[in-house]
């Protein structure tokens, strides 16, 4: 599936009141599933991912005037979704008195009881290993490993250098390997 218009025309379509709603509906239809899974891999919960996805599209709608087409649409949307996801983590870490392991344990427990999770014990172990990563490193790992995003695109989304991302991904893989070996 692809957008029913050329992405170069998007700033004009979104600034015109006649085409704005149709263009944004097409964007939602095109990117909902990709963004949902990007978010879901971080928060693990279907309900939380749905809430964050909705916040992402609300924020995108409210900031349409800021999208000038300089960045790729997908990059812009992923940046918003990533920021909303990080806001979710920051808010929930504060609620858990700054103890990230408490919140990560809660996410892992939620995953076990999630009716949408159909993985086996190994998949659950992998998710726990990924949860053991700091949130930013978890993002880099998920975007590279699951979404197969090139480092250049991840760098645009996270607004950091490719070198830093490569190092972060390498460290994430090593930590996951160590976690999986320790659990065996």
Q: Specify the higher pLDDT residue, 133 or 69.
A: 133
- Give yes or no for a contact between 93 and 68, defined as CB atoms under 8 angstroms apart: no
Would you say the pTM of this structure is higher than 0.85?
Answer: no
Q: Specify the higher pLDDT residue, 70 or 86.
A: 86
Q: Specify the higher pLDDT residue, 13 or 140.
A: 140
Burial class of residue 38, CB neighbours in 10 A (0-12, 13-18, 19+): buried
Mean pLDDT calculated for residue range 157-165: 94
Q: What is the dihedral of CA 157, 158, 163, 168, to 10 degrees?
A: -120
Share of the chain above pLDDT 70, in %: 83
4 pLDDT higher than 60: yes
Mean pLDDT calculated for residue range 25-39: 94
CA distance 105 to 100: 8
1 pLDDT higher than 80: no
Predicted local distance difference test score (pLDDT) of residue 178: 92
CA distance 27 to 5: 10
pLDDT single digits (tens) 51-85: 999 999 999 999 987 877 777 889 999 999 999 99
Which pLDDT band holds residue 136 (cuts at 50, 70, 90)?
Answer: confident
| Tokens describing residue 182 | 């320790």
pLDDT single digits (tens) 89-125: 888 765 554 445 555 556 656 655 555 555 667 777 8
Share of the chain above pLDDT 90, in %: 43
Q: Specify the higher pLDDT residue, 158 or 95.
A: 158
Predicted local distance difference test score (pLDDT) of residue 125: 81
Predicted local distance difference test score (pLDDT) of residue 99: 47
134 pLDDT higher than 70: yes
- Give yes or no for a contact between 59 and 84, defined as CB atoms under 8 angstroms apart: yes
């Amino acid at each position: 599936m692809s957008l029913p218009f050329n992405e170069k025309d998007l700033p004009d379509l979104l600034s015109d009141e006649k085409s704005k709603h149709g263009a944004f509906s097409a964007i939602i239809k095109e990117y909902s599933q990709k963004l949902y899974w990007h978010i879901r891999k971080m928060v693990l919960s279907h309900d939380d991912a749905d809430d964050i996805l909705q916040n992402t599209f609300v924020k995108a709608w409210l900031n349409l005037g800021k999208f000038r087409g300089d960045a790729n649409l997908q990059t812009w949307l992923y940046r918003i979704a990533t920021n909303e996801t990080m806001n979710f983590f920051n808010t929930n870490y504060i609620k858990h008195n700054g103890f990230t392991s408490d919140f990560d344990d809660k996410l892992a427990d939620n995953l076990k009881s999630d009716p949408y999770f159909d993985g086996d014990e190994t998949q659950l172990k992998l998710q726990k290993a990924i949860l053991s990563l700091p949130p930013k490193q978890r993002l880099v790992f998920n975007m590279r490993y699951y979404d197969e995003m090139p480092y250049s695109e991840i760098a645009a989304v996270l607004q950091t250098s490719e070198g830093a991302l490569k190092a972060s991904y390498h460290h994430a893989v090593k930590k996951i390997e160590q976690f999986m070996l320790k659990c065996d």
